[in-house]
Amino acid sequence: MSRIETVFLDAGGVLVWPNWSRVADALRAHGVQADAKRLEDADALARYELDRAQVVDASTDQRRSRSFFDLVFEEAGIDLSDRTTEAMKDVLRYHKEQNLWEIVPDFVKPALRDLRKKGYRLAVVSNANGTVEKLFERKELRPLVDFVFDSTVEGLEKPDRRFFDLALARSGARAETTVHVGDFYNIDVVGARRAQLTPVLVDELDLRRDADCARIRTIAELPKLLETL
């Protein structure tokens, strides 16, 4: 039987993904040829490139967001220009109000329901912009998790262990029986270990074979993995 009682979950790249159709529409409105599928395919590659300690340590979360989109565009073959900058202003205005990470893959809700059925306490612990709670209500995810902790709301962000400590205290969880599932090694895995949690890395393209922690492609694999921890 699993010794795990509580599952902390990152939001972006684990439960929700950017709406690349919205981004492509914004680019085309500014005269930039863009294909939503190519942007979507570039997403995980861009996150892999961004997941480097020196980038994380040298950047604020807002800077990481801008760098992330630049990397996606480059991976998708889109040249950066004044037009892409103007398009992203439109996108980021939407993100500030509604949250661009509004795509919920088909496997997410069944996986959350399965985890809840098995008795795990679920908490979202996300570096975000203050809109995660509203987003989860809008996308009908909020009833499937017990707690939502948004870094902007709390004034702390991963990999700072204080963010995890706050989530542990408020959720009534214990570090020794809690896993944290995220898609950035240098944010999620490093931060979880600082707080003495068990890390699980979401590595959808199997790019981090060198990672010294448990890996899954998607959270559809998480219930089975938890049985082994």
Predicted confidence band of residue 2 (pLDDT cuts 50, 70, 90): low
Question: Across all residues in the chain, what is the average pLDDT?
Answer: 93
Higher pLDDT, 210 or 1: 210
Instruction: Tell me if 33 is assigned to some domain.
Output: yes
What pLDDT digit, counting tens, does each position of 90-122 carry?
Answer: 999 999 999 999 999 999 999 999 999 999 999
Least confident interval from 49-53, 64-68, 75-79, 188-192: 64-68
Q: Is pLDDT of 62 > 80?
A: no
- Is residue 145 located within the same domain as residue 193? yes
pLDDT at 66: 54
| Residue at a domain's end among 39, 66, 98 | 98
Percent of the chain with pLDDT over 70: 93
Residues 138 and 124 in one domain: yes
The answer to whether 53 and 64 have CB atoms below 8 angstroms apart is no
Grade residue 50 by pLDDT with cuts at 50, 70 and 90.
confident
Q: Which domain holds residue 165?
A: 6-15+103-226
**Number of folded domains that form the chain:** 2
**Do 63 and 164 share a domain, yes or no?**
no
CB atoms closer than 10 angstroms to residue 203:
21
DSSP one-letter string for the chain: -----EEEE-SBTTTBB--HHHHHHHHHHTT----HHHHHHHHHHHHHHH--HHHHHT--HHHHHHHHHHHHHHHTTPPP-HHHHHHHHHHHHHHHHH-S--B--TTHHHHHHHHHHTT-EEEEEE---S-HHHHHHHTT-GGG-SEEEEHHHHT--TT-HHHHHHHHHHHT--GGGEEEEES-IIIIIHHHHHTTPEEEEE-TT---TT-SSEEESSGGGHHHHHTT-
Q: What is the pLDDT of residues 16-25, one digit of tens each?
A: 999 999 999 9
pLDDT of residue 57 exceeding 60, the answer is no
Is 134 inside a domain boundary?
Answer: yes
Residue 54 has pLDDT above 90, yes or no: no
Taking residues 23-41, what's their average pLDDT? Answer: 97
The band of 52, judged by pLDDT with boundaries at 50, 70 and 90, is confident
